[in-house]
């Protein structure tokens, strides 16, 4: 990464970063200017031909929520694209305007503290924990609950509760993808680009609900 461009390389994991890990660089507001877009594209190896699209996207999101103008924009490793509300940092691994738009959509809703943001944070934590304990829980239930009807009820209930816990995060990811599509001049390109990421979120968050449901549907 060219350090003279002052575009920080940051790894966002919803935790605060120390001053030694982040170098002051571009903000989202800078992307509404030609010099800011040029700097962004040079640092990320992007083609300057997409400058108008990047600038247009920035202006659209800033019009919707001017408060995101000071969100720091940084470079992250491939696959680490994200918005970290704890540090107000938006990380992208490439200059792809569709990915930038998706993360900007998150930033426009999640930069400020809100009940919705708290609910989303809780959803992420519950899903992560649930994915770790699902298999042990299923094995325990199948081992210690002898009545098949009771076992089925417990597993199906856990499936429903797990799906409900995952819903806020899945709704947020769907909203970000939908907004990116709405701002895109090439909706087919955007859909193709963002579909795998959305699918991976659903696959990750629905691991526990699916496992509980299948375990309840395939009794001894």
User: pLDDT of 81-123, one tens digit each?
Assistant: 999 999 999 999 999 999 999 999 999 999 999 999 999 999 9
Buried b (16+ CB within 10 A) or exposed e, 57-85: bbebbbeebeebeebbbbbbeeeebbbbb
**Which pLDDT belongs to residue 217?**
76
**Which pLDDT belongs to residue 108?**
96
Question: Rounded to an integer, what distance in angstroms lies between the CA atom of residue 5 and that of residue 23?
Answer: 10
List the beta bridge partners of residue 90.
Answer: 73, 83
Angle at the Cα of 36 from the Cα atoms of 65 and 177, rounded to 5 degrees: 45
pLDDT at 215 over 90: yes
H helix intervals, 97-144: 97-110, 115-144
- Residue spans per domain, the chain: 3-110, 115-217
3-state helix, strand, coil in the chain (%, to 5): 70, 5, 25
Beta strands (DSSP E) in the chain are 72-75, 82-84, 89-92
User: pLDDT of 24-60, one tens digit each?
Assistant: 479 999 999 999 999 999 999 999 999 999 999 999 9
**Which pLDDT belongs to residue 218?**
62
Instruction: Place 216 in a pLDDT band, splitting at 50, 70 and 90.
Output: confident
Radius of gyration of the chain (CA): 21
Angle at the Cα of 207 from the Cα atoms of 202 and 209, rounded to 5 degrees: 100
The answer to whether residues 168 and 120 touch, using CB atoms and an 8 Å cutoff, is yes
pLDDT at 219 over 60: no
Question: What's this model's pTM, rounded to 2 decimal places?
Answer: 0.85
Largest CA distance in the chain: 69
């Amino acid at each position: 990464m060219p350090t003279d461009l002052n575009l920080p390389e940051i790894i966002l994991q919803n935790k605060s970063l120390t001053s030694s890990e982040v170098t002051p660089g571009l903000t989202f507001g800078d992307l509404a200017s030609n010099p800011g877009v040029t700097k962004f594209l040079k640092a990320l190896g992007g083609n300057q031909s997409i400058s108008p699209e990047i600038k247009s996207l920035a202006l659209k999101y800033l019009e919707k929520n001017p408060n995101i103008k000071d969100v720091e924009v940084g470079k992250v490793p491939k696959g680490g694209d994200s918005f970290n509300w704890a540090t107000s940092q938006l990380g992208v691994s490439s200059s792809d305007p569709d990915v930038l738009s998706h993360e900007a959509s998150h930033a426009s809703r999640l930069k400020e503290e809100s009940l919705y943001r708290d609910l989303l944070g809780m959803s992420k934590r519950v899903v992560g924990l649930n994915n770790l304990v699902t298999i042990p829980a299923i094995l325990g239930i199948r081992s210690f609950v002898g009545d098949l009807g009771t076992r089925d009820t417990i597993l199906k209930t856990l499936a429903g509760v797990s799906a409900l816990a995952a819903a806020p995060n899945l709704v947020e990811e769907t909203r970000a993808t939908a907004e990116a599509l709405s701002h895109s001049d090439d909706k087919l390109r955007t859909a193709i680009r963002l579909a795998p990421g959305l699918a991976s979120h659903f696959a990750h968050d629905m691991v526990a609900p699916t496992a509980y449901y299948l375990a309840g549907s395939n009794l001894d």
